[in-house]
Structure 1
Amino acid sequence: MLKRLKEKSNDEKIRNTMNKRISFVFGVIVFIFAIIVLRLGYLQIAQGSHYKQLIKNSENLTVNEAVPRGRILDRNGKVLVDNASKKAITYSRGRKTSQSEVLDIAEKLSKLIKMDTAKITERDKQDFWILKHPNKAEQLMKNEQSLLDDGSISQDEYDDALHKKIGEKQFDSFSDKDLQVLAIYREMMAGSALDPQMIKNEDVTDEEYAAVSQKLSDLPGVNTTMDWDRKYPYKDTLRGIFGDVSTTQEGIPKELTEQYLSKGYSRNDRVGKSYLEYQYDDILKGKKKEMKYTTDKSGEVIDSQVIHPGSRGDDLVLSIDIDLQKKTEEYLEKQISKLRSEGAKNMDNALVVVQNPNNGDILAMAGKQIDKNGDLTDYDIGNFTSQYAVGSSVKGGTLLAGYQNDAIKVGEEMVDEPLTFSGGLSKRSYFNQDGKVTIDDKEALMHSSNVYMIKTALKIAGSPYTPNMSLPTDISEAGQKLRKGLNQVGLGVKTGIDLPNETSGQIEPLTDNPGNFLDLSIGQYDTYTPLQLSQYVSTIANNGYRIQPHIGLEIRKATNKDTLGPVKEKVKGNVLNKVNNTSDQIKQVQEGFKMAFNEKEGTGYQSFNDTTVPSAGKTGTAEVFQDGEPRVNSTYVGYAPIENPKLAFSIVYTNHPVPEPWLNGGDLGRDIINYYFKEKDKN
């Protein structure tokens, strides 16, 4: 009994000891929490406004300093567009800097640099005169001041009245020195606070740059830095395709303002305005410097910190082979000269596209506009922004549409003969004006038979040809069927190239105009771009896959050196569709194209029968009018080699004389094929 009591007493002692320890620990925890709560309360209540002000007085700001754009290179790494650095003088205005303080700095700068005063506007002069002569301005506005004070006029009305009273009489008081100060002042006041504004970046001399650099301590906000301009090592080659970049003064062009502002750009950013510079601006633009500014309660900057130093834009590698491009331009100019000497005095456009038919890579794209004197203007962009009647080149698409609609079979024969219709309409083939010749589909392509294509179109419309027949009155459905077949190979639809302003061609209605429906089948109605022709012949060359062409090839990460950085992204040619034809049907068109270039009766034999590697393709002649006079457009499409093609091309010449003589421009395609595959073998 005593033993149990003793054990119980010991247990109670242990429990009491543990309870005391737990109470002590709990007390310590409560005390710590109380300190934390008191500290948080102190920070939030007593010091809250202080820290809010610190946060308010600190902000990250993207600084609009000149960041070089990314380079543009060809597929082999040759630089096509680069940046040329140039000296520049900038000014960053503080938030509390007054107009008089800015004017004082401008007057100091005017003693160090020479400015162009041509950009000074009348409004600039009015504002400057008011700033320089506040008392005289008050004297001019005594009556208006009374009206302003009693609320009869608004501040805007007062300001308008003041500016109207300041004119040539006041401007005559400006000296050359005043105008120099004004030219500097207007640039300094152009932008927002803390954002560097370009004062001068053109023709800054070494003396000016050094003089300003030495006086920076006396010129708060002024800085000497480097700006850039685009430079083009290959001069005018592809200059139109590259497009333009806005100037420092221009900023975002007015017509592109909403688009760029929606992407987070500033109004005075230098941006791509057209074509590649515009299309790939997000890649080429670079990253601007980011600064963290700390200001005091009055708004004065008391500290600054660089968050991001800024970096130049990433590089854009093109699918273009610049050596092939230069040769293509050389051959094109040579061909223009030859054709003009043979009688093509009214030819006004010559365009050519060269591409890889298997992946959509544009390897070369050249174009020239020709005036009456034979002077040439670059017109590379015309390959996708202008459209033309292209004639018989499209007949491969017509056959594919015929097969798709079960209007004709592979190898089907027809009689090529003059066609007559009620009402006096007649149609015939150029190679067979009067007789009757039985030909199949391949031979129809070789001879460029209009009759075979027209008979095919009539079968699509459900009205097979009979002499003196009446044409169907409603060809809406037939027109849709034929156009659908042409669309599948890229004719009459946008190609999807990675360049802005592409046109889809001119597609006119087909309802109760059956004559136009017949013309559509031989390339005499709808109009197409040279790039569409290139996509079309590529679709035939690669066994029926319409591939999106592209001029961009890779995006490369910018480096601090002239070397190419790692690949960030590849630009690929997507398959847009597969033609709704069997392999035998596509093969039949390919055989017809082969015969057109390699059989003596073929329309392309003269130029293409002896190319370095065997080639295939189609020629075309479209009847057009120029200033009311009949002319023809001459076109060529082709690919090489015949087996496993690696290169496809399209050529368009506009407004040749009506044959005869027939002027052969196919040598341009032959020269391109020969150069490309000879160089390929050599390399």
Structure 2
Amino acid sequence: MKKKKKKAQLPIRINILFFVVFLLFSVLILQLGVVQILNGEDFQEEIERTNLDTTSIPVPRGKIYDRNGNVIVDNEAEYSITYTPPKGVQAEDRLEVAEDLAKYIVMDDKDTLEGITERNKKEYWYLLNKKEADKRISAEDAEDMENAEVYNATLDKITEEEISDFSKQELEVIAIKKELDKAYSLTPQIVKNENVTTEEYATIAEHLDELPGINATTDWNREYSFGETLTSLLGSISSQEQGIPAGEEDSYLTKGYSRNDRVGKSGLELQYEDLLRGRKEQIQYTTKKDGTVIDSKTVVEGQRGKDLVLTIDMEFQQEVDKIVEEELKAAKKEHPYENQYLTDALAVVMDPNTGELLAISASHYNEETKEYEDSGFRALSDAHTPGSVVKGATILAGLDSGAIKPGQSFYDRPIEIKDSPTFRSYSTGLGSMTDITALKKSSNVYMFYVALRMMGENRYPFPSKEIPRFDSNTLQVLRNYYQQFGLGVATGIDYPHESTGYTGTSNSPGLTMFQAIGQYDQYTALQLAQYASTIANDGYRVRPHFLKEAREPIASQDELGPLYKTVNTDVLNKIDIEDNYLDRVQEGFRQVFQEQGGTAYSYFKDADYKAAGKTGTAEVGYYKDGKKLADTLNHNLIGYAPYDEPEVAFAIIVPYTGENSGNTSNHRIGRKILDAYFDMKENRDEESKDDNEEANAEEETEG
């Protein structure tokens, strides 16, 4: 008997599957209908949105204070009208904004209107007469040209007559559009920030909805509390028109700058740009495809730059500036026949123990304006022949190299060398000199013998009219010793640029001997100050610096914020010379200022603070336009005080004083600077004492 076949179930399963698919499609169709009918407009608006864009709003730079908490550089707020173009904005759109904005602000100052170029006028005329202008270039000619070439050719077809009769109102529109054209997408561009009136500011703020991209905000300019004092060293910042430096765009842009950001251009503003710049406020915009902003929110709160506290004492700085300028004026008055030469006086004052710069001053007489100018940067950049101030380094080189022994004496008489000028001291009556008295009385002959012996020439007295033995390495050996004190090398100062001086390129026995008395290589006032500080500081060469500390910004206008960074003493090197040799040079320097016969004794003998140092007069040529006009002199001075526990060191250079050796302005400047320093210190100590006594009395009363 045959079994019955089992009935297949497949058709039923397929039917079920088809039914499920039908239901799913029905749901999808229903959902699509809901999307299209109920939410279509909302979703279409969402689709039209672009990605979120973020723009950065500049913040005020950090302030700069002196060591006593006095504000040197502040920020002065001023009204500002800015333009932040949305994406895809066209020239026609900017023209429309400019025409609307011209109804509310005035742009008719002389500089603004004179800054309108012929091209600016042609571009304006083109936008007003686009159809007519485009016809001036045939389609056949345009085929072989790029779009930019067609545009430029079209502008060339616009005649002078067509752009010659714009009204004042139209010129203002052109001036505004010129500023709008500079803007980058989502980056604020200042349209007007000078002389924006309260009425203009308020009117713009009231009509912002009619002015796409325009904003009424606040900008800042640097304000100098002490006028011109120190400004040549503080440096400057760029205008928004200048923006970041040309050629350095990549470096700045990678750090988050915008192209039109104002940055430090020179001086300390440039040196400490990273601290002073602050943190920009970041605003996130949501825009439609047509560029319309539909939402914005602040994603990063802005914070102004960090505040700098300098080592400079501005009260003392002003006094030093006054002294330097007055003494330069007095020197010119005393020696009117030397006026063509007496144009500069330079001074650097620093703490020899820490490297803190207390004052840097340079007065320059401008022959064209007949005025004296603050040019403190010259103390870092201008190198001059130092003269006898380097003799301390020469004595130490001689002692350390074994060329001379402590206390060794030479009789100061002229040295005659074949085919060379006579090598002599400023006076023929100095007599027998030791290493210490040679410093005290500034014997050139003693230094000549140091150089001769370092060259391998040990004959004494040197035979007249002969040629000395000569080791060509000696000049470099001398320079190596000098470099330990900072002479001829970078001082390490925290400043964008400094000169390392001038190093002569020739070499001979005579030049080596001249180097020993400071009559060959040239140094800056800052290098000489570091040299003086190294001797005062028992052979430790410290890096000079302007920055004392950096502080976090706070809202208060009367106090500094929390400490962010402090600058500690940086010892660059300890001179590789025995301490007892340095003691002898320090004693020689003391005698220069404090003992009868010392070359600076008459100027410092009655000073309570007991200074030490070295005088220097250098014979130099005065050149102009590459031509030597005359033989002249540099009058220099270095020193420190008190000699036993130095707390201040200085260097003075008065270059090109003329042919008259009687100029004493270097001594007068040095004496007055030290007087001012110790007088201020005494007065401040008294004030501090009085304040403490008053505070103690109040505590006792409260108790």
Higher mean alpha-carbon deviation, 413-422 vs 656-665, is at 656-665
Contact 1:401-1:484 at 8 Å conserved across structures: no
Say whether residues 1:234 and 2:229 are aligned partners: no
The counterpart of 1:494, out of the listed 481, 487, 490, is: 490
User: Quick one: distance in 1 between partners of 2:298 and 2:581?
Assistant: 66
What is the CA distance between 1:597 and its match in structure 2?
0.5
Partner of 2:632: 631
Say whether residues 1:292 and 2:284 are aligned partners: yes
Contact 1:58-1:292 at 8 Å conserved across structures: no
User: Quick one: distance in 1 between partners of 2:620 and 2:246?
Assistant: 39
Deviations 1:537-590 (A, max 9, x none): 000000001111001111111112222111111123411111111110111000
Contact 2:654-2:665 at 8 Å conserved across structures: no
Say whether residues 1:514 and 2:509 are aligned partners: yes
Partner of 2:435: 441
Matches within 5 A, 1:335-484: 335-343=327-335, 344-345=338-339, 346-371=341-366, 375-431=371-427, 433=428, 437-465=431-459, 466-468=462-464, 470-471=466-467, 475-484=471-480
What is the CA distance between 1:440 and its match in structure 2?
0.6
Query: Cα–Cα, structure 1 residues 168 and 403, in superposed 2: closer, same or farther, change >3 Å?
Result: same
Matches within 5 A, 1:25-44: none
Say whether residues 1:677 and 2:678 are aligned partners: yes
AA aligned to 1:515 is G
AA aligned to 1:288 is K
User: Quick one: distance in 2 between partners of 1:585 and 1:59?
Assistant: 71
AA aligned to 2:136 is L
Query: Cα–Cα, structure 1 residues 397 and 218, in superposed 2: closer, same or farther, change >3 Å?
Result: same
Contact 1:66-1:226 at 8 Å conserved across structures: no
User: Quick one: distance in 2 between partners of 1:633 and 1:161?
Assistant: 62
Deviations 1:87-143 (A, max 9, x none): 11112111143332322221111111111322222222222222111111112112x
The counterpart of 1:180, out of the listed 172, 184, 204, is: 172
Contact 2:416-2:466 at 8 Å conserved across structures: no
Query: Cα–Cα, structure 1 residues 55 and 592, in superposed 2: closer, same or farther, change >3 Å?
Result: farther
Contact 2:420-2:510 at 8 Å conserved across structures: no
What is the CA distance between 1:664 and its match in structure 2?
4.7
User: Quick one: distance in 1 between partners of 2:313 and 2:249?
Assistant: 34
Partner of 1:122: 118
User: Quick one: distance in 2 between partners of 1:277 and 1:417?
Assistant: 54
Partner of 1:83: 75
Contact 2:455-2:469 at 8 Å conserved across structures: no
Indicate the SS of the match to 1:68. Answer: coil
Indicate the SS of the match to 2:114. Answer: coil
User: Quick one: distance in 2 between partners of 1:54 and 1:653?
Assistant: 74
Partner of 1:597: 593
Give the CA RMSD over aligned residues: 2.1
Contact 2:310-2:548 at 8 Å conserved across structures: yes
Partner of 1:665: 666
Extract unaligned runs of 5+ from structure 2.
Answer: 1-42, 624-628, 685-703
User: Quick one: distance in 2 between partners of 1:467 and 1:424?
Assistant: 14
Matches within 5 A, 1:507-546: 507-511=503-507, 513-546=508-541
Query: Cα–Cα, structure 1 residues 519 and 262, in superposed 2: closer, same or farther, change >3 Å?
Result: farther
Partner of 1:59: 52
Percent sequence identity over aligned pairs: 39
User: Quick one: distance in 1 between partners of 2:440 and 2:323?
Assistant: 26
Query: Cα–Cα, structure 1 residues 610 and 128, in superposed 2: closer, same or farther, change >3 Å?
Result: same
AA aligned to 1:543 is D
AA aligned to 2:93 is E
User: Quick one: distance in 2 between partners of 1:317 and 1:471?
Assistant: 57
AA aligned to 2:426 is Y
Partner of 1:38: none
AA aligned to 2:493 is I
What is the CA distance between 1:678 and its match in structure 2?
2.4
Indicate the SS of the match to 1:250. Answer: coil
What is the CA distance between 1:298 and its match in structure 2?
5.4
Deviations 1:210-244 (A, max 9, x none): 22122222222211111111111110100101111
Indicate the SS of the match to 1:643. Answer: coil
The counterpart of 2:548, out of the listed 548, 553, 567, is: 553
AA aligned to 1:584 is N
User: Quick one: distance in 2 between partners of 1:228 and 1:93?
Assistant: 22
User: Quick one: distance in 2 between partners of 1:352 and 1:298?
Assistant: 62
Partner of 2:318: 326
AA aligned to 1:490 is G
Deviations 1:328-354 (A, max 9, x none): 112112212322232153311101000
AA aligned to 1:422 is K
Extract unaligned runs of 5+ from structure 1.
Answer: 1-49
What is the CA distance between 1:451 and its match in structure 2?
0.5
Contact 1:353-1:383 at 8 Å conserved across structures: yes
User: Quick one: distance in 1 between partners of 2:655 and 2:617?
Assistant: 10
Say whether residues 1:68 and 2:60 are aligned partners: yes
Higher mean alpha-carbon deviation, 469-478 vs 335-344, is at 469-478
TM-score of the superposition, structure 2-length normalised?
Answer: 0.85
What is the CA distance between 1:666 and its match in structure 2?
0.8
What is the CA distance between 1:173 and its match in structure 2?
4.4
TM-score of the superposition, structure 1-length normalised?
Answer: 0.88
The counterpart of 1:504, out of the listed 500, 506, 522, is: 500
AA aligned to 1:487 is Q
Partner of 1:18: none
Deviations 1:143-171 (A, max 9, x none): xx22333xx33333323322222241221
Contact 2:80-2:216 at 8 Å conserved across structures: yes
Partner of 2:128: 132
Contact 1:62-1:288 at 8 Å conserved across structures: no
What is the CA distance between 1:475 and its match in structure 2?
4.3
AA aligned to 2:547 is G
User: Quick one: distance in 2 between partners of 1:529 and 1:292?
Assistant: 51
Indicate the SS of the match to 2:399. Answer: helix
Partner of 2:688: none
Say whether residues 1:644 and 2:645 are aligned partners: yes
What is the CA distance between 1:505 and its match in structure 2?
0.5
User: Quick one: distance in 2 between partners of 1:454 and 1:317?
Assistant: 46
AA aligned to 1:87 is Y
What is the CA distance between 1:296 and its match in structure 2?
4.1
Deviations 1:171-201 (A, max 9, x none): 1242222111111112122122222111100
The counterpart of 1:619, out of the listed 600, 615, 619, is: 615
The counterpart of 1:148, out of the listed 117, 142, 150, is: 142
Query: Cα–Cα, structure 1 residues 259 and 342, in superposed 2: closer, same or farther, change >3 Å?
Result: farther
User: Quick one: distance in 1 between partners of 2:586 and 2:242?
Assistant: 52
User: Quick one: distance in 2 between partners of 1:184 and 1:662?
Assistant: 59
Indicate the SS of the match to 2:618. Answer: strand
Partner of 2:28: none
User: Quick one: distance in 2 between partners of 1:261 and 1:349?
Assistant: 41
User: Quick one: distance in 2 between partners of 1:222 and 1:442?
Assistant: 75
Deviations 1:622-673 (A, max 9, x none): 0012242111000000000011100000000011133443535312211221
Contact 2:189-2:260 at 8 Å conserved across structures: no
AA aligned to 1:646 is E
User: Quick one: distance in 2 between partners of 1:587 and 1:71?
Assistant: 43
What is the CA distance between 1:502 and its match in structure 2?
0.3
